[in-house]
Structure 1
Amino acid sequence: MTLWLCQLVTSLQSCLQNKIYDGKTLTCTQTFENPMCLTFSHHCFLPSWLFVKFDVSFIVHLWHVFLNVHIKQALNFSDTYVVHVNVFVSLQVIKVYNEDNTSRAVEVPTDITARDICQLFVLKNHCIDDHSWTLFEHLTHLSIERIIEDHESVMEVLSGWAMDTDSRLYFRKNYAKYEFFNKPLDFFPDHMVSISSETNGMMNHSQLIQTFLNSSTCPEIHGHLHAKEQGRKSWKKFYFVLRRSGLYFSNKGTSKEPRHLQFIAEFSDGDVYTLLSARKMHGAPTDYGFCVKSTKRGSPRDLKLLCADDEQTRTCWVTAMRLFKYGMQLYQNFIQPHQKQKTPMRSISENSLVAMDFSGHKSRVIENPSEALSVAVEEGLSWRVASHSLFLYVSFRLVPNEHHHGCPVCFAALHMAQPWFHSKLSRDEAHRLITQQGLIDGVFLLRDSQSNPNTFVLSLCHTQRIKHFQILPVDEEGELFYSLDDGHTRFADLIQLVEFYQLNRGVLPCKLKHHCARITL
């Protein structure tokens, strides 16, 4: 809190040094009855991050004090003048939803960005900020949604909503938001990508990302898509081409000649959305639908509805459209959090910590770094053994009950408190939750099995497909274990199972990397 307060004071001082009394943001009025009494009206334009970390009333009060002192000093007023300052902060109340449709209303400045909103809820809910938290625009009446990019103004998004429609902001994780910068190969298959003749076709996928970011180069995405005919319910399959100038389809097979390409949409005044129920809502041939929606025209008939044959194809098109629209700005959004982490600040108390040995009758400072490391490892192992033994003692006992047939019964299911465990989640709900939080390798959750009581299921994403693995209980000499491979590898609890497969692939197609989590706003 002390660091944030210093940042606040520094920011306010910098605002004062930028001549806020130039007559635009700070105006002065003088009454005829008392010419020595001056009233200043200030329209406050402070950085949005201040409102994320501090209460609005606190900021306004501190800003009021700063202005009083600064005005007298800057304008060299004598003590005979009476200065009054009226501070006006432009704020607006917005409502944000999470996965279970619970919501929370917050008061924010009008220039706040999507990243600021995410930071606000991360701090208020004490979440781990792994840079995957994302704000979504959800248009219920159209059954579509999109990522609001981190740099976008939230108020500009809200201004495009019609008054009579159910439009919402959703806050949730999305591990795939910037994953194409890390693993372009998963997002851009070779058969869908063409590059300009200047590169002679020799380019790896990391260089491909650079061509998207460089306005002088022209990568091209092409392939077959289903398109809904304007004013009709039918869908037709065409060969589409995505270029920097816009989206086109060919009216003659796979020809890319200019006379055969028909213009569909550009992205300077439009955004790309995913269809949430393509078959049910729009009669699409598959569930992998997306659309281009103009920011100027929001009626359903103005949507450019498209549909892919599989998830990988849809992901390629949607990602390419985001890159064409925002270009280098997306990359800056991606690297900004990592740049802040390069120089972590350590507190004085942290620097003054020393290793201590309390094993004897008197404590002593451990000055040898090697000895300190070995003691830390030993204490960690002993804690693990002790806590595991306590868990076995508390959690598992044999109960002479005819309904359990002598099987161990879990009395303290520690996994219930883990963020990756979702107790009464169905298979379809698990599929939807993983899809919402990003179809990249390693996204997972654990849940109760709906078909086999007293067992669990691991739901895992791999190659943009969601697979489900049964976790079976194994009873050995009165102790209960869990296994994914018919008892070959056994674990005393689900926490150990998850920790093992986070480090080892084992029988799974990939390691467990990102857990699906839900929070209450």
Structure 2
Amino acid sequence: MEVAGLWADVFEGSEMMEKPGAADKLLGSSTRTLARPVSESPSICRSQPISITPNRGKGVESLSSSVPSIPNPFPELCSPSKSPVVVSSLPPPSSDKHMIKVYGEDSHSRPVWISPGATAKEVCHMLVQTAHCSDQENWALLEVYPTLGLERCLEDHEVVLEVQATWSPKCDTRLMFCKNYAKYEFFRKPMLFFPEFMISDSADVSKGMTSAELIQNLLRSGRSPEIQGFLQVKEHNRRAWKKIYFLLRPSGLYCSSKGSSKEPRHLCYVADLEDFNVYSVVNSRKLYGAPTGFTFCIKPAKNPIRAQELKVLCAENEQTRTCWTSAFRLFKYGKQLHCNYQSSKSTPRSLEGSSLTDNKSKSEASLVAMDFSGKDGGRVIQNLTEAQSAEREEGRAWRRREALRCSLPNLNCGVRPSSIHKTQPWFHGGVSRKEAQRLIEKQGLVDGMFLIRDSQQHAQCFVLSLCYKLQIKHYLVIPYVEEVSKYLTMDDGMTLFIDLLQLVEFHQVNKGILPVCLKHPCICVAL
């Protein structure tokens, strides 16, 4: 049969298969061929793999190159370096990253990929971005031993993986991400943390400096004055506590074998500061039978924890415990701790924590009482009694304005419901008094740290827990009915508030009956 036209070339190509080298030529061509049927008994022919070279012929273009490229309208979303979404839970492409698990205060954890040399400050900055925290300062990583009740705030310069290397696999040690306002508070108020009666007599006071000036100069140079005082000690496998006189010097921690004698022959060496870390003890009365709740512990820094190596010490009050732990940190890290403090002050702050709050805290010491009732302009009120009277009068005027505003139509419960406080970060629901104190202590015993909770003893009442001078005080907020309207008050009706949010907003500016204004809300962030 004769084939004409386009199919003639195809059948001519099939005859070329019989000639030597014809197949090689056909492999390079793009024309399909039809094989001639074989009249003999057919043999089974299996397909064989053909290697395809990555470089095609010169005249052939790839399919992808023939499609026109479309520009990406959102390049910032595709670039990992510029992406606003932090994917810390995904493994990085490089193999030099290590995964750590960080817990939030809600007992939930988040995996974070960090470099081998990542410091605690860098990890905190990463978690702030991951958790979308508005306030970017005063965060810290806590090294927590839940079974032993030990907690320690990692210093900003400490390498996280090196700290984890000292953990024992048998212990349930973890890292916790939370607020800590008191990390460098002793640089700001040294006399509150280093009272004169605890400073050793060996301190150099011959230059005519006062105790406050001496402490301030030592802190600026990254040093601490020598500390002395009585502490109660619990030895291993013993239930009784013994009161012993201790001294903390740059060379180490010493105890006196004879009362409060500081003679060298009566001093016994206890621990080297370079080899130990200091921890605060939670629930020490139940775990260790401590006589007071102001307990701290020192343990070896580089070895896995052992019960017989723990040195549990108990102080008489919070000021004494804070003085010992702060001096221990200063002696151990020296100038590095002061550098960390300076670096924390120069860190860029967010809108919530910097523009208003920081400016208010800086200018708080320069606020004075003014009287603008005269015709010649304002005058500074010098008399303290007159200034307090002016403050009370301003509070009454503010109360009258608020009462008038709340009495207007369409401005009652519709705008600000009675349960609006439940959405605020400073409200902690029905936590107990003991739990509220623990939350404030963990985030730092600084003046103005506060939270509000439901009262467990009085129905429909609330409790304001406030820290002032290293002590936590509790103020009862009770309902107050005036005519038909319901209010809240802390001073038997002298100052009324329509809800807790208004109460907090007022005391953030005015002290009222409180010893200090509300400054730092005790918040819990979930990772």
* Separation of aligned partners in 1, 2:146 and 2:84: 28
Match of 2:344 among 330, 333, 337: 337
Determine helix, strand or coil for the equivalent of 1:238.
Answer: strand
Q: How many residues align?
A: 395
1:303 aligns with 2:323: no
Note closer, same or farther for the CA distance 1:417–1:388 as it changes in structure 2 (3 Å cut). Answer: farther
Note closer, same or farther for the CA distance 1:386–1:130 as it changes in structure 2 (3 Å cut). Answer: farther
* Separation of aligned partners in 1, 2:103 and 2:90: 26
Note closer, same or farther for the CA distance 1:88–1:260 as it changes in structure 2 (3 Å cut). Answer: same
The one-character-per-residue Cα deviations of 1:20-47 (angstroms, maximum 9, x if unpaired) are: xxxxxxxxxxxxxxxxxxxxxxxxxxxx
**Contact 1:394/1:412 (CA < 8 Å) preserved in 2?**
no
* Separation of aligned partners in 2, 1:388 and 1:241: 65
Match of 1:392 among 398, 412, 416: 412
* Separation of aligned partners in 1, 2:267 and 2:413: 71
* Separation of aligned partners in 2, 1:322 and 1:389: 59
Match of 2:478 among 472, 480, 485: 472
Residue 51 of structure 1, CA deviation? 11
* Separation of aligned partners in 1, 2:102 and 2:84: 15
Which fold has the larger relative contact order, with Cα–Cα distance below 8 Å and residues 6 or more apart in sequence? 2
Match of 2:113 among 107, 112, 118: 107
Residue 243 of structure 1, CA deviation? 0.4
**Contact 2:425/2:521 (CA < 8 Å) preserved in 1?**
yes
The one-character-per-residue Cα deviations of 1:163-197 (angstroms, maximum 9, x if unpaired) are: 11100111111111111111111101110013656
Written as runs of structure 1 = structure 2, the 5 A alignment for 1:4-43 is: none
Aligned to 1:422: 428
1:97 aligns with 2:103: yes
The one-character-per-residue Cα deviations of 1:324-374 (angstroms, maximum 9, x if unpaired) are: 111121111112132244999xxxxxxxxxxxxxxxxxxxxxxxxxxxxxx
Written as runs of structure 1 = structure 2, the 5 A alignment for 1:135-174 is: 135-174=141-180
* Separation of aligned partners in 1, 2:186 and 2:152: 17
Note closer, same or farther for the CA distance 1:444–1:391 as it changes in structure 2 (3 Å cut). Answer: farther
Written as runs of structure 1 = structure 2, the 5 A alignment for 1:280-429 is: 280-297=286-303, 298-341=305-348, 392-394=412-414, 411-429=417-435
* Separation of aligned partners in 1, 2:350 and 2:151: 36
The one-character-per-residue Cα deviations of 1:102-130 (angstroms, maximum 9, x if unpaired) are: 22222222221111121122212221335
TM-score by length of 2: 0.69
Indicate the structure (1 or 2) with the bigger Cα radius of gyration: 2
1:518 aligns with 2:515: no
* Separation of aligned partners in 2, 1:389 and 1:269: 68
Match of 1:186 among 189, 192, 217: 192
Note closer, same or farther for the CA distance 1:256–1:501 as it changes in structure 2 (3 Å cut). Answer: same
The one-character-per-residue Cα deviations of 1:432-453 (angstroms, maximum 9, x if unpaired) are: 1111111222111011111112
The one-character-per-residue Cα deviations of 1:299-332 (angstroms, maximum 9, x if unpaired) are: 0101122111111100100000011111121111
* Separation of aligned partners in 2, 1:342 and 1:518: 19
**Which deviates further from its counterpart, 484-493 or 275-284?**
275-284
* Separation of aligned partners in 2, 1:50 and 1:256: 61
Structure 2 unmatched ranges of 5 or more = 1-80, 352-400
**Contact 1:184/1:206 (CA < 8 Å) preserved in 2?**
no
Written as runs of structure 1 = structure 2, the 5 A alignment for 1:205-220 is: 205=212, 207-212=214-219, 214=221, 219-220=225-226
Structure 1 unmatched ranges of 5 or more = 1-48, 61-86, 345-380, 397-410
**Contact 1:471/1:482 (CA < 8 Å) preserved in 2?**
yes
1:445 aligns with 2:443: no
Determine helix, strand or coil for the equivalent of 2:441.
Answer: helix
* Separation of aligned partners in 2, 1:482 and 1:413: 13
Aligned to 1:251: 257
Match of 1:224 among 211, 230, 248: 230
* Separation of aligned partners in 1, 2:85 and 2:240: 51
Residue 271 of structure 1, CA deviation? 0.5
Segments of 4+ moved more than 6 angstroms: 49-53, 56-60, 384-389
